[in-house]
Amino acid sequence: MPHVPYWANSLGLDPTDFGLFHDFLQNGQRMLHHSSLYCNPIIHHLLPRCQRSMALTAAVLCFQASQVGGVESFAKFDKAMVLYRSMPSAEDITYVLDTGLIICNASMHLGYKWTTLLHRLCCLAEASLCSNGRGADTDYAKQLEVLASMDFDLWIMGRRTPSRHVWATWCLGGSGIEQITGLPRSLLDLMALSCLGTDISADIRQWITTLMTQDTASARRHIWQACAIATLLHMHTMHFAILSDVDDLTRALKAHIGQFREALLVDRDLNARQALWPLYVVGKSAVDVDTRLYVKMELEGLGLYGGAESKNWIPAILEETWARTNAGERVTTDSVAIEHGIELGICGPGLDNVAVIYLQLFPVSNFAEFQTAISDFLRKAKAAGKTRLVIDLQGNKGGAVLLAYDFFRQLFPSIVQDGISRWKLSKTFEHLPRVVSELIKDIDPATETNSELRSLYYTPWSYRHNLNISNHNFEKFEEKYSPHTYKNTNYSNLIRINVGDPLTTTKLLGIDISGYGTRTNLTQPFEAKNIILLHDGLCESSCSTVSTLLRHQGGVKSIAMGGRPNQGPMQGVGGVKGAEGLPFDQIYQYINSVSRFTTNSTVKSGLQRFKTLPMERSVAAGINAQDQILRDNIDDGIPSQAHQNAPIKKPHSVLPKLYYPIVLSDAGKNRIRCQRHEKLCHLSHGITKHASQ
């Protein structure tokens, strides 16, 4: 047993965990995606940084466990993910980059869908260069090269976000060998440029010719030439270049990989995984059975087939993608995985009944695509026998409120969402509905030819646009906007969006909201007791709306993870809880538009006092424009924003030795005083069991 340093306990490491950690540090990142050396340069700064960062330590542990396989690796991965998501971007950028980098690599062994982290990592790295300079010897530049090499469209199979083309933007023009990939920077330059869709086949051929004249170690030369040829074949497959010698190039690539594999038998410091991407390209472009068999055998030699308890889906996904692409289908590794339901839930003994959906936002465009994606997910989850659902709202900052309603109604089609809100009637605000309501009082939006009037009809200032709390139309201006006073402040009447109006939904959004129109025959896919919300305190706006609907009307329970490492309850919804947020520029546009329709000097002067200075001096600014009112507060008028959520326990603070993210479920009280929850479940992309501690 290695010596456990004094800081191990403060990081929550037990002796077994530290043994894995120690082993990782001693042996280096041997299985890092493109690493080829025991003396990996990243390792030199990992050890001191791990002593100061719980998230980085957890990332190292999850990566080491991912090499071994088994369900334990999923638990450690989830812990690392929770800690990583709670890392503030303002923290030392190298900690954030180191942690995300290791997690990305671990995800490539456990699956691939977590490559969404690459987008945040690359954004942070680019931002750090802008503020810290781009000297070749800086830690930032070195980290950026590592991330850029992982960001290539070339070898990220099944990525969830597009490439940011980091290498082509920031890293071109270097010399020497990039130590993580083990490839010349000049070759990486060409590979990065090929990702942009540029036909650089002539430059690559020249590079190959030049390499053959250089005195380079045989094993290195073979894998370098294999990668260069693979780049040519990839460009041909993507139609960036038209090559006439594909068969000759394929034979040459296979020969170079064969020579490289022979060298591996002699030099154990070489990393066989360097051949992964060239093999992927060969398999993707090949049509003959012999080449496919060759690729499969080589992948088996790289350890990508079987042998681990944690299922590695990559080879099977690659094979099917290759075959269907060659048959003329437009599929990706992502789409193939989704078809087979691989990302629908949790693998592992006894956990085949759990599905997980991650909602990053409610988009303000592509409404039909969002609705269809949710419907397909629920349909496939039920078809796959899933009976429990985890809704991951971590990092969700809101978006289109109608999509929040749609998501709720897909889960609970028989429950009509409340969605009760109101406006504050300031003196200036009152001008807007008075002017607009006078303009639209007699128009028929279905037949009105004046597009400007038709648009005004659907603004919040139109008394005809919303419904009252009983789901009936307001018949006149005073019914909606006569003052209702609470605490010496005037507010509008309580309102609800007319979700059943096809002119609001079908015509403007292109969809019927679930529960209305053509979508009234839905069935509830999961029982409320088998659904749980996962928060991290960042939820706001429309995320707050869907969380409120699911908890208050659907009876769904929730849990929060993250925050500061102290005991006690935590707010799952930490952002704005209003019904609608309006940015300053949109308010200014409304005011300018409405002021043109009035000749009243008092109204004009009241509206024209607003200037553009706040927008010019801020990156983004806005206000919580509507209060959300819960049904229990209809009489007292207290807005949701003024309410503290029912306390949600942070379980990793209560039970620090558990390395699974913990989900609280089933109503009742328990011995750790988690209100409205009784049973602890470990949920970890593969593990669900009752806590026995």
- Residue span of the structural domain in which 440 resides: 421-495+579-641
- The per-residue DSSP string of 36-50 comes to --SS-TTHHHHHHHH
Same domain, 637 and 652: no
Look at 151-155, 204-208, 649-653 and tell me which has the smallest mean pLDDT.
649-653
Residues 486, 440: one domain? Answer: yes
How many angstroms separate the CA atoms of 687 and 664, rounded? 14
Domain assignment of residue 631, yes or no: yes
Classify residue 212: in a domain, yes or no.
no
Which letter, b or e, does each residue of 616-645 get, where b requires 16 or more Cβ atoms within 10 Å of its Cβ? eeeeeeeebbbbbbbeebeeebbbbeeeeb
One domain for residues 573 and 653: yes
Q: Which residues pair with 681 in a beta bridge?
A: 663, 690
In a domain, 538, yes or no: yes
The answer to whether 627 touches 421, Cβ cutoff 8 Å, is: yes
What does the pLDDT read at residue 23? Answer: 52
Number of structural domains found in the chain: 2
Q: Are residues 425 and 567 in the same domain?
A: no
Between 689 and 269, residue with greater pLDDT = 269
Is 234 in contact with 196 (CB distance < 8 Å)?
no
Considering only residues 4 and 273, tell me which one the structure prediction assigns the higher pLDDT: 273
Query: Is residue 253 assigned to a domain?
Result: no
CATH number for the domain spanning 649: value is: 3.90.226
Average pLDDT over residues 373-382: 90
Q: What is the pLDDT of residue 416?
A: 92
- Interval 74-109: pLDDT, tens: 667 777 777 777 776 555 667 777 787 777 767 665
Q: Which residue has the higher pLDDT, 337 or 201?
A: 201
The pLDDT > 90 percentage for the chain reads 13
Q: Is the pLDDT of residue 259 over 80?
A: yes
Q: What is the pLDDT of residue 363?
A: 85
Same domain, 428 and 482: yes
Residues 476 and 440 in one domain: yes
Residue 30 lies in a domain: no
343 part of a folded domain: no
One domain for residues 469 and 554: no
Average pLDDT over residues 12-27: 52
Do residue 467 and residue 614 come from a single domain? yes
pTM of the model: 0.53
* Burial degree of 675 (CB within 10 A; 0-12, 13-18, 19+): middle
Answer whether residue 664 is part of any domain: yes
Six token digits for residue 510: 């292109």
- Check whether residue 436 and residue 491 sit in a common domain: yes
User: What is the per-residue pLDDT for 305?
Assistant: 40
Task: State whether 434 and 489 are in the same domain.
Answer: yes
Tell me the one-letter amino acid at 276.
L
Residues 591 and 473 in one domain: yes
Q: Which residues contact 13 (CB under 8 A, 6 or more apart)?
A: 4, 21, 57, 61
Which residues does 487 contact at the CB level (< 8 Å), separation at least 6?
A: 637
Residue of 49, 6, 9 whose CA lies nearest to 25: 49
Using alpha carbons, list the distances in angstroms from residue 90 to 54, 84, 263, 560: 16, 13, 45, 22
On whether residue 670 sits in a domain, the answer given is: yes
pLDDT tens digits, residue range 572-593? 888 888 888 888 888 888 888 8
Indicate if 429 and 572 belong to the same structural domain. Answer: no
